[in-house]
Amino acid sequence: DDVLNTLHIHRQSCFIIGRESRVADIRTDHISCSKQHAVIQFKLKTKMDGAGNNVQKICPYIMDLESSNGTFLNKKKIESKRYYELLEKDMLNFGSSSRDYVLLAPEDDA
């Protein structure tokens, strides 16, 4: 299997994944992938730390855009039109494509 270049997804607020070259930020050429298959969206997440302070962090999420053949997070099909938070080392697959997309944290976060 070929290893693709690293995609620095933190440089935009969202990325469309799909086959349609005019729209997709991340192209998937597999026939089982929809023209606009899924989106990676960065959203602000607020949680309380141990001291009771609100801590805000921008986190990546994946959403299937009602694709014909589904989006898979860690080999499990996700529900369409619902955000799923992505964590470091999560693996994404689109349709029946065997290509794996693995989320890596930026080096300054490691």
pLDDT recorded at residue 110: 41
pLDDT recorded at residue 107: 60
Mean pLDDT of the chain: 90
- 35-46 residue pLDDT tens: 999 999 999 999
Tell me which of 17 and 105 has the higher pLDDT: 17
- DSSP β-ladder status, 14-18 and 26-27: parallel
Instruction: Tell me what the mean pLDDT of segment 58-69 comes to.
Output: 96
- 90-105 residue pLDDT tens: 999 999 999 999 998 7
Q: Are the beta carbons of 4 and 73 closer than 8 angstroms?
A: no
